[in-house]
Amino acid sequence: MAINETNKVRQLQRSLYRKAKQEKSAKFYSLYDKLCRADVLWEAWLQVKANQGAPGIDGQTIEAIVEAGEEAQMIQEKMY
């Protein structure tokens, strides 16, 4: 993933953080559209891989997903 995609994710995180801190009564009714973006999901996946995350509830390991070449497919499925 390109550096500019990482920067977009950081900008999103910062803007949500600032809104929450500046407006204590602010409500975030829908975060789904902000979290289920390709750039956000890719950044999360890269962080999980870097931290050698544990298998999920389905028992699939990071290595198995990478070896099967299913990373892009997994991200696409999570976007919808």
Q: How many domains does the chain have?
A: 1
Question: Which range marks the domain in which residue 20 is found?
Answer: 3-78
Q: Say whether pTM exceeds 0.85.
A: no
Q: What pLDDT does residue 29 have?
A: 85
Q: What pLDDT does residue 1 have?
A: 56
Reported as type and span, the H/E element at residue 75 is helix 71-78
| DSSP letter string, 6-33 | HHHHHHHHHHHHHHHHH-TT------HH
- 60 closest CA partner among 36, 77, 38: 77
Q: How far apart are CA 80 and CA 76, in angstroms?
A: 7
Residue by residue, pLDDT tens for the chain (80 residues) are 556 778 889 999 999 999 999 999 988 888 888 888 889 999 999 999 998 888 888 888 999 999 999 999 989 888 76
